Structure 1
Amino acid sequence: MSTFAPAPGAAPVGRQLLTQAGMEARLMLRNGEQLLIAVVIPVIVLVGAVRGSEKVGLDLGGKPIDVLTPGVLALAVMSTAFTSLAIATGFERRYGVLKRLGTAPLSRATLLGGKVLALLVVEVFQFVVIGGVGLALGWSGPSGVVGVLGVVLAALCGTAAFAALGMLLAGSLRAEATLAAANLVYLLLLAGGAVVLPADQYGGLGDVVRWLPSGALGEAMRTACDGAIAVRDLVVLAAWAVAGSALTARTFKWE
């Protein structure tokens, strides 16, 4: 007769990461407010912008749907990686969730990695929905293999940049202040950050807004859908990611 021999210990890091990412993704997709920011608002912006540009005769240098869909995909990345992440993390700090998780066998690096991986899962869902709406409206999609690669690189770099900034916000402000600031920044970048509309539509400010993470992401996504890779804009996003991560590491408070 065999004797039960317990073998206590933490699960492998890879399994911890996938489990945490799955839980984070489910929480985001079950939250009505998160779905509103992640999917509903970008789809409304896409349909409204396409219909509006056709009525007012806005010159975007190409078919409105082909210019606006990549911009709305960039907006989707920004809404999830920045706004949703900042708000969710801010309230996790307030209710002590992060403090408790920080004392669990799950390391803090694995916890943050799970959050970022969950963002990518949600973004795939966003791209399927928004891309489907765009195709139904006449979007031609990314141009060739290089275009698809450019979209992936833009999404990854944009996620890194905005996630770092979202964690910076959530880790340094109170939950209520994070909620207000994240939504305010989202609206400001949506209106004047060259994320949906090309930077050249902003006149003399075009050269300035391209240095913002929103402008760099929007330009990188539009360039990718035209079949090229915007190296400059990807470098700008990488710089924002590095700067944001460094500041977050110095200022983030777990409780």
Structure 2
Amino acid sequence: MTQQDTARTGADGTFAPRPGAAPYAAMVRAQASMETRLLLRNGEQLLIAVVIPVIALVGGVVAAGRLGIDLDGADPVDALTPGVLALAVMSTAFTSLAIATGFERRYGLLKRLGASPLPRSGLLLGKVGGLLVVQAVQVVVVGAVALALGWSPDPLGLLLAVPCALLGTAAFAGLGLTLAGTLRAEATLAVANLVYLLLLAGGAVVLPRSSYGAASEVLALLPSAALGDALRAALLDGTLAVLPLVVLAVWAALGASLASRFFRWE
């Protein structure tokens, strides 16, 4: 996958192989393609990445409508869709990445890839590329369901949501790699799923922070709440929320620092 045999034609029409590594960009694209296929073929990861966010969206809209829950005065689908998109980013960039990388490390795959012509920086870029492709699929699926339920996002907000999602991806990916690179695979599986469930229930990611009463100010410091706030500001009001983006940037820097220092490849 990461090596390529090129050939030149001699005067007599024969071929002379010239073995060597493929260009760096080609190796990264191949790795990203493989990472994408592995994520989409894994039933558990697909459940976390796509099915749970869709269930959260549909269930939340139905429950809010029947129970008359006030979501800061906004229509339920408009208020919940940004949070569900934030949940989708978290599920892929943190939970799925941590679990997949943890088991790749356990089986020695990372060690073998680290010894291939693909540099370790290329391996990480390939993982990020795979994440972005899966997240694009998530956005299409969740967005289609939301539109069917009557979602009407701010047009400018659709553009503003992109840097928010990318910053959230960076923050959660750093934390996910730190987890996968320091704990055993089984522990990574348990901790990643536990953190995901805790943030889903109490991390102000799907529901607005105002729904959590007095705890809302403290929750603003969590990456889950910051990503949810940033996407809600973008998609509901068409604005960039500065404080949530600063919080995400801090978490992204912290995650990258921890991953670079403590991640073990075997």
- Report the TM-score when normalising by structure 1: 0.97
* 1:15 counterpart residue number: 26
- In 1, the alpha carbon distance for the partners of 2:126 and 2:93 equals 13
- In 2, the alpha carbon distance for the partners of 1:154 and 1:112 equals 21
* 1:202 counterpart residue number: 212
1:223 partnered with 2:258: no
The alignment covers a number of residue pairs equal to 253
- Identity rate, percent: 66
* 1:193 counterpart residue number: 203
- In 2, the alpha carbon distance for the partners of 1:5 and 1:237 equals 53
1:67 partnered with 2:79: yes
Could you tell me how far 1:6 is from its partner in structure 2? Answer: 2.3
Which digits, 9 at most, give the CA deviation of each residue in 1:55-95, with x for residues without a partner?
22111121111000110000000000000000000000110
AA partner of residue 29 (structure 1): L
1:239 partnered with 2:250: yes
RMSD of the TM alignment (CA)? 0.9
- In 2, the alpha carbon distance for the partners of 1:16 and 1:232 equals 37
Runs of 4+ in 1 over 2 A off after TM superposition: 2-6
2:109 counterpart (73, 76, 97)? 97
* 2:145 counterpart residue number: 133
Which digits, 9 at most, give the CA deviation of each residue in 1:118-162, with x for residues without a partner?
101000000000000001011102x123x1222101110010000
- In 1, the alpha carbon distance for the partners of 2:235 and 2:176 equals 26
1:47 partnered with 2:53: no
* 2:133 counterpart residue number: 121
Q: Considering fraction of residues, name the structure with more strand.
A: 2
Q: In structure 1, list runs of 5 or more residues that go unmatched.
A: none
AA partner of residue 138 (structure 1): G
**Aligned partners of 1:81 and 1:163 also within 8 Å:** yes
- In 2, the alpha carbon distance for the partners of 1:44 and 1:148 equals 22
Secondary structure of the structure 1 residue equivalent to 2:258: helix
- In 2, the alpha carbon distance for the partners of 1:107 and 1:2 equals 35
- In 2, the alpha carbon distance for the partners of 1:94 and 1:243 equals 25
**Aligned partners of 1:150 and 1:220 also within 8 Å:** no
1:167 partnered with 2:171: no
- Report the TM-score when normalising by structure 2: 0.93
**Aligned partners of 1:154 and 1:220 also within 8 Å:** yes
Larger Rg: 2
